[in-house]
Amino acid sequence: MQFNGKKGLVLGVANDHSIAWAIAKQIMEAGGECGFTHLPDREDDERQRNRRRVSQLTDKYENAKFLIPMDAQKDDDIQRVFDHTAEQFGKIDFLLHSIAFADRNDLSRETVFTSRDGFKLAMDVSVYTLIACTAAAKPIMNPGGAIATMTYFGGEKCVPGYNVMGICKAALEATVRYLAYDMGPQGVRVNALSAGPIRTLAGRAAGVEEMLTLYEHMAPLGRNVSHDEVGRTGAFLLGDNSEGISGEILHVDGGYHAMGSPGRLLDKLQTK
Protein backbone atom coordinates (compact mmCIF):
# COMPACT_ATOMS: atom_id res chain seq x y z
CA MET A 1 0.00 0.00 0.00
CA GLN A 2 1.54 3.27 -1.15
CA PHE A 3 0.50 6.82 -0.31
CA ASN A 4 3.54 8.62 -1.68
CA GLY A 5 2.40 11.99 -3.01
CA LYS A 6 -1.05 11.65 -1.43
CA LYS A 7 -2.42 14.35 0.87
CA GLY A 8 -5.54 14.45 2.98
CA LEU A 9 -7.41 15.54 6.06
CA VAL A 10 -8.14 13.43 9.15
CA LEU A 11 -11.08 14.45 11.35
CA GLY A 12 -11.76 12.89 14.72
CA VAL A 13 -8.52 11.80 16.38
CA ALA A 14 -9.05 12.08 20.15
CA ASN A 15 -6.11 10.06 21.50
CA ASP A 16 -3.80 7.16 20.67
CA HIS A 17 -6.69 4.66 20.93
CA SER A 18 -8.75 6.39 18.23
CA ILE A 19 -9.48 4.36 15.12
CA ALA A 20 -8.82 7.53 13.11
CA TRP A 21 -5.28 7.56 14.49
CA ALA A 22 -4.76 3.88 13.60
CA ILE A 23 -5.75 4.70 10.02
CA ALA A 24 -3.70 7.90 9.84
CA LYS A 25 -0.60 6.08 11.07
CA GLN A 26 -0.91 3.54 8.27
CA ILE A 27 -1.25 6.32 5.71
CA MET A 28 1.71 8.33 6.99
CA GLU A 29 3.93 5.27 7.32
CA ALA A 30 3.12 4.54 3.67
CA GLY A 31 4.30 8.03 2.65
CA GLY A 32 1.08 10.06 2.80
CA GLU A 33 0.77 13.55 4.26
CA CYS A 34 -2.03 14.31 6.71
CA GLY A 35 -3.60 17.38 8.23
CA PHE A 36 -5.45 16.88 11.51
CA THR A 37 -8.19 18.57 13.49
CA HIS A 38 -8.89 18.38 17.20
CA LEU A 39 -11.83 19.28 19.41
CA PRO A 40 -11.68 22.94 20.40
CA ASP A 41 -10.41 23.60 23.90
CA ARG A 42 -12.39 25.74 26.30
CA GLU A 43 -11.13 29.28 26.66
CA ASP A 44 -10.42 28.69 30.34
CA ASP A 45 -8.39 25.53 29.66
CA GLU A 46 -4.87 26.89 29.73
CA ARG A 47 -3.43 23.39 29.31
CA GLN A 48 -5.27 22.90 25.99
CA ARG A 49 -5.97 19.28 26.80
CA ASN A 50 -7.69 18.37 23.53
CA ARG A 51 -4.91 19.79 21.39
CA ARG A 52 -2.19 18.30 23.57
CA ARG A 53 -3.62 14.77 23.39
CA VAL A 54 -3.46 14.86 19.60
CA SER A 55 -0.23 16.85 19.23
CA GLN A 56 1.60 14.27 21.35
CA LEU A 57 0.87 11.86 18.50
CA THR A 58 1.25 14.07 15.44
CA ASP A 59 4.48 15.70 16.60
CA LYS A 60 6.25 12.37 16.06
CA TYR A 61 5.55 12.40 12.32
CA GLU A 62 7.13 14.78 9.81
CA ASN A 63 4.29 14.16 7.38
CA ALA A 64 1.67 15.29 9.91
CA LYS A 65 1.59 18.76 8.39
CA PHE A 66 -0.83 20.68 10.60
CA LEU A 67 -3.16 20.39 13.58
CA ILE A 68 -6.01 22.87 14.03
CA PRO A 69 -9.23 23.00 16.07
CA MET A 70 -12.62 22.41 14.47
CA ASP A 71 -16.14 22.66 15.84
CA ALA A 72 -17.99 20.34 13.47
CA GLN A 73 -21.36 21.85 14.44
CA LYS A 74 -20.39 25.21 12.95
CA ASP A 75 -20.38 25.57 9.17
CA ASP A 76 -18.04 28.57 9.31
CA ASP A 77 -15.55 26.56 11.34
CA ILE A 78 -15.68 23.67 8.89
CA GLN A 79 -15.07 26.05 6.00
CA ARG A 80 -12.15 27.64 7.85
CA VAL A 81 -10.53 24.21 8.23
CA PHE A 82 -10.96 23.30 4.58
CA ASP A 83 -9.70 26.71 3.47
CA HIS A 84 -6.60 26.10 5.59
CA THR A 85 -6.26 22.62 4.09
CA ALA A 86 -6.38 24.10 0.59
CA GLU A 87 -3.73 26.66 1.53
CA GLN A 88 -1.43 23.92 2.84
CA PHE A 89 -2.08 21.16 0.32
CA GLY A 90 -3.83 22.65 -2.67
CA LYS A 91 -5.88 19.62 -3.68
CA ILE A 92 -6.41 16.60 -1.42
CA ASP A 93 -6.70 12.89 -2.17
CA PHE A 94 -8.53 11.63 0.90
CA LEU A 95 -10.78 12.68 3.75
CA LEU A 96 -11.31 10.59 6.88
CA HIS A 97 -14.41 11.44 8.91
CA SER A 98 -14.40 9.85 12.36
CA ILE A 99 -16.80 12.10 14.25
CA ALA A 100 -19.69 10.96 16.43
CA PHE A 101 -21.32 12.02 19.68
CA ALA A 102 -24.40 11.36 21.78
CA ASP A 103 -25.20 12.64 25.22
CA ARG A 104 -24.27 10.03 27.80
CA ASN A 105 -27.71 10.34 29.39
CA ASP A 106 -29.36 9.39 26.12
CA LEU A 107 -26.95 6.51 25.55
CA SER A 108 -27.64 5.10 28.99
CA ARG A 109 -31.44 5.13 28.74
CA GLU A 110 -33.76 3.00 26.63
CA THR A 111 -34.10 4.30 23.08
CA VAL A 112 -37.79 4.97 23.60
CA PHE A 113 -36.87 7.63 26.17
CA THR A 114 -34.31 9.45 24.02
CA SER A 115 -34.73 13.19 24.47
CA ARG A 116 -35.64 15.35 21.49
CA ASP A 117 -32.65 17.62 22.00
CA GLY A 118 -30.37 14.62 22.50
CA PHE A 119 -31.60 13.05 19.27
CA LYS A 120 -30.98 16.22 17.30
CA LEU A 121 -27.52 16.61 18.83
CA ALA A 122 -26.51 13.02 18.06
CA MET A 123 -27.77 13.19 14.47
CA ASP A 124 -26.16 16.55 13.83
CA VAL A 125 -22.71 15.54 15.08
CA SER A 126 -22.71 11.91 13.96
CA VAL A 127 -24.41 12.21 10.57
CA TYR A 128 -24.81 15.72 9.23
CA THR A 129 -21.14 16.52 9.76
CA LEU A 130 -20.26 13.96 7.07
CA ILE A 131 -22.49 15.83 4.62
CA ALA A 132 -21.10 19.21 5.63
CA CYS A 133 -17.47 18.08 5.44
CA THR A 134 -17.99 16.33 2.10
CA ALA A 135 -19.51 19.52 0.69
CA ALA A 136 -16.54 21.53 1.95
CA ALA A 137 -14.09 18.98 0.54
CA LYS A 138 -15.74 18.72 -2.88
CA PRO A 139 -13.98 21.72 -4.49
CA ILE A 140 -10.52 20.54 -3.40
CA MET A 141 -10.78 16.78 -3.95
CA ASN A 142 -8.67 15.28 -6.71
CA PRO A 143 -10.37 12.89 -9.16
CA GLY A 144 -9.83 9.37 -7.89
CA GLY A 145 -9.91 10.61 -4.30
CA ALA A 146 -11.70 8.89 -1.45
CA ILE A 147 -13.79 9.72 1.59
CA ALA A 148 -14.31 7.27 4.46
CA THR A 149 -16.32 7.38 7.65
CA MET A 150 -16.71 5.09 10.65
CA THR A 151 -19.82 3.06 11.44
CA TYR A 152 -20.80 0.04 13.54
CA PHE A 153 -23.04 -3.04 13.27
CA GLY A 154 -25.53 -1.35 15.62
CA GLY A 155 -26.70 0.62 12.59
CA GLU A 156 -27.79 -2.59 10.86
CA LYS A 157 -29.23 -4.59 13.76
CA CYS A 158 -30.45 -3.74 17.23
CA VAL A 159 -27.53 -3.81 19.67
CA PRO A 160 -28.99 -3.13 23.14
CA GLY A 161 -26.98 -0.42 24.85
CA TYR A 162 -25.98 1.26 21.59
CA ASN A 163 -29.42 2.85 21.50
CA VAL A 164 -29.69 6.27 19.80
CA MET A 165 -26.22 5.90 18.31
CA GLY A 166 -27.45 2.86 16.39
CA ILE A 167 -30.09 5.04 14.77
CA CYS A 168 -27.40 7.56 13.90
CA LYS A 169 -25.20 4.90 12.32
CA ALA A 170 -28.11 3.65 10.20
CA ALA A 171 -28.60 7.21 8.95
CA LEU A 172 -24.86 7.58 8.41
CA GLU A 173 -24.73 4.45 6.24
CA ALA A 174 -27.63 5.72 4.12
CA THR A 175 -25.78 9.03 3.81
CA VAL A 176 -22.69 7.20 2.54
CA ARG A 177 -24.71 5.72 -0.32
CA TYR A 178 -26.21 9.05 -1.36
CA LEU A 179 -22.90 10.88 -1.11
CA ALA A 180 -21.24 8.14 -3.15
CA TYR A 181 -23.75 8.90 -5.90
CA ASP A 182 -23.23 12.65 -5.68
CA MET A 183 -19.43 12.45 -5.67
CA GLY A 184 -19.21 9.75 -8.34
CA PRO A 185 -19.10 12.07 -11.37
CA GLN A 186 -16.04 13.71 -9.82
CA GLY A 187 -14.35 10.32 -9.54
CA VAL A 188 -14.46 10.46 -5.72
CA ARG A 189 -15.43 7.37 -3.74
CA VAL A 190 -17.36 7.41 -0.45
CA ASN A 191 -17.34 4.38 1.87
CA ALA A 192 -17.75 3.41 5.50
CA LEU A 193 -15.71 1.09 7.66
CA SER A 194 -17.71 -0.96 10.16
CA ALA A 195 -15.29 -2.07 12.86
CA GLY A 196 -15.94 -4.60 15.57
CA PRO A 197 -15.69 -3.45 19.18
CA ILE A 198 -12.37 -1.82 20.02
CA ARG A 199 -11.24 -0.04 23.16
CA THR A 200 -11.64 3.61 22.22
CA LEU A 201 -12.99 6.69 23.99
CA ALA A 202 -16.32 6.27 22.19
CA GLY A 203 -16.31 2.51 22.74
CA ARG A 204 -16.13 2.83 26.50
CA ALA A 205 -19.26 4.98 26.47
CA ALA A 206 -21.08 2.30 24.46
CA GLY A 207 -20.20 -0.66 26.72
CA VAL A 208 -17.43 -2.12 24.59
CA GLU A 209 -16.08 -4.51 27.24
CA GLU A 210 -19.17 -6.75 27.17
CA MET A 211 -19.15 -6.73 23.37
CA LEU A 212 -15.50 -7.82 23.23
CA THR A 213 -16.35 -11.03 25.08
CA LEU A 214 -19.37 -11.70 22.88
CA TYR A 215 -17.46 -11.20 19.63
CA GLU A 216 -14.65 -13.44 20.79
CA HIS A 217 -17.12 -16.31 21.21
CA MET A 218 -19.39 -15.63 18.23
CA ALA A 219 -17.22 -14.29 15.41
CA PRO A 220 -16.17 -16.94 12.86
CA LEU A 221 -12.51 -16.05 13.47
CA GLY A 222 -13.03 -16.64 17.20
CA ARG A 223 -11.30 -13.43 18.22
CA ASN A 224 -11.56 -9.66 18.27
CA VAL A 225 -9.90 -7.38 15.76
CA SER A 226 -6.98 -5.08 16.50
CA HIS A 227 -6.38 -1.38 15.98
CA ASP A 228 -3.79 -2.22 13.34
CA GLU A 229 -6.18 -4.44 11.38
CA VAL A 230 -8.81 -1.72 11.34
CA GLY A 231 -6.15 0.85 10.50
CA ARG A 232 -4.94 -1.08 7.48
CA THR A 233 -8.48 -1.55 6.19
CA GLY A 234 -9.27 2.12 6.62
CA ALA A 235 -6.13 3.05 4.73
CA PHE A 236 -7.15 0.59 2.00
CA LEU A 237 -10.47 2.39 1.56
CA LEU A 238 -8.67 5.72 1.24
CA GLY A 239 -6.00 4.49 -1.15
CA ASP A 240 -5.74 3.52 -4.81
CA ASN A 241 -6.15 -0.22 -4.19
CA SER A 242 -9.88 0.30 -3.54
CA GLU A 243 -10.40 2.36 -6.70
CA GLY A 244 -13.48 0.38 -7.78
CA ILE A 245 -15.30 0.51 -4.43
CA SER A 246 -17.88 3.16 -3.52
CA GLY A 247 -21.06 3.24 -1.46
CA GLU A 248 -19.77 0.24 0.51
CA ILE A 249 -20.04 -0.66 4.20
CA LEU A 250 -16.91 -2.75 4.79
CA HIS A 251 -16.93 -4.87 7.95
CA VAL A 252 -13.76 -5.53 9.93
CA ASP A 253 -15.20 -7.60 12.77
CA GLY A 254 -13.85 -11.12 12.44
CA GLY A 255 -16.99 -12.07 10.52
CA TYR A 256 -19.41 -11.38 13.37
CA HIS A 257 -21.84 -9.54 11.07
CA ALA A 258 -22.30 -12.72 8.99
CA MET A 259 -23.67 -14.79 11.87
CA GLY A 260 -27.36 -15.62 12.11
CA SER A 261 -27.05 -17.64 15.34
CA PRO A 262 -24.72 -17.68 18.35
CA GLY A 263 -22.60 -20.29 16.56
CA ARG A 264 -19.89 -21.83 18.74
CA LEU A 265 -21.14 -19.79 21.70
CA LEU A 266 -24.28 -21.95 21.63
CA ASP A 267 -22.12 -25.07 21.80
CA LYS A 268 -20.43 -23.73 24.92
CA LEU A 269 -23.79 -22.95 26.55
CA GLN A 270 -25.17 -26.42 25.76
CA THR A 271 -22.21 -28.19 27.37
CA LYS A 272 -22.75 -26.42 30.72
User: Which residues are catalytically annotated?
Assistant: 152, 162
Spatial contact of 238 and 230, defined as CB atoms under 8 Å apart: no
Sheet containing 64-69: which strands, arranged edge to edge?
Answer: 64-69, 33-38, 7-11, 92-97, 141-151, 189-195, 249-252
Residue (of 13, 59, 24, 65) closest to 232 by Cα position: 24
Q: How many CA atoms lie within 13 A of 197 on its CB side?
A: 23
Q: What is the DSSP string of 151-205?
A: E-GGGTS--TTTTHHHHHHHHHHHHHHHHHHHHGGGT-EEEEEEE-----HHHHH
